[in-house]
Amino acid sequence: MSSLSSASSTSSMMAAGADGATASAGHVALEARDITKRYRRRIILRDVSFSLAAGSLVGIVGENGAGKSTLLRILAGELRPSGGAVALAGALGYCLQAAILNEALTVAQHLDYFRAAYRLADTRRADALVERLGFARYRETPVRALSGGTKQKLNLTLALMHDPTVLLLDEPYQGFDWETYLRFWELAAELRQRGRAVLVISHLVFDRGRFDRLYTLADGRLRLDEVAANVADTQAAPATEVSGA
């Protein structure tokens, strides 16, 4: 497992990991150990520890301002923690809540740009995702002319097109219509079945039964909220609480 505890560029990390090894199903693909984050005197995260197994779909839910995005940025290696460490096995896909796209470029140009960044031979996987998420007719449309939901579809496609081992998703279905929302969950289930580790972070979760594990982040502490009975416990911390005092 490589360490992501030091700050680094998300795009460069993902590109470097595009050809990385895939963790075997059930093995730990990402592990956070005693993650703490402080901004001056304010403590955002308190000794957060958990692991994400290959072939699992895990959720973290918390109110706005609970520290979810801060945790995700640390997991992705984009933000340095005040304490603790993160270890990653394989390639990383990272989907931000606010899509970071070039307003002047078309959908197709984004796909080609990220193909080069990920060092992929072609955009076949991305093209299939574009079709599946239902925005193929916008391939030649500049991002500035897209709706918020379509921008989020593109954002998700860019995070998935290199077939990462670990996928970190921040409010991934924001702006989706009902049909696309269901397609997202179908895709997430297929990724899990293929041995990928998927983490979804949101302020609100309706479909709790879709997750193998669901955590609540509040007051900087991460606690296990719900466990699917048919999934083995791969977490490093006790089942009742996964963060220190």
Looking at residue 72, its pLDDT comes to 93
76 touches 4 (CB < 8 A)? yes
Q: Quickly state the pLDDT bin for 2 (edges 50, 70, 90).
A: low
Average pLDDT over residues 220-239: 56
Answer whether CATH 1.10.10.60 is correct for domain 2-227. Answer: no
Give CA–CA dist 78/33, Å, rounded. 16
Work out the burial of residue 141: count CB atoms within 10 Å of its CB; fewer than 13 is exposed, 13-18 middle, 19 or more buried: middle
Q: Rounded to whole angstroms, what are the CA distances from 230 to 156, 201, 226, 227, 233?
A: 28, 22, 12, 9, 9
Q: pLDDT tens digits, residue range 165-196?
A: 999 999 898 889 999 999 999 999 999 999 99
Tell me the average pLDDT of the chain: 84
**Which stretches within 36-143 are classed as H helix?**
68-75, 107-118, 124-132
130 touches 24 (CB < 8 A)? no
Within 10 Å of residue 64's Cβ, how many Cβ atoms? 8
The model's pTM: 0.81
Q: Is 26 helix (H, G, I), strand (E, B) or coil?
A: coil
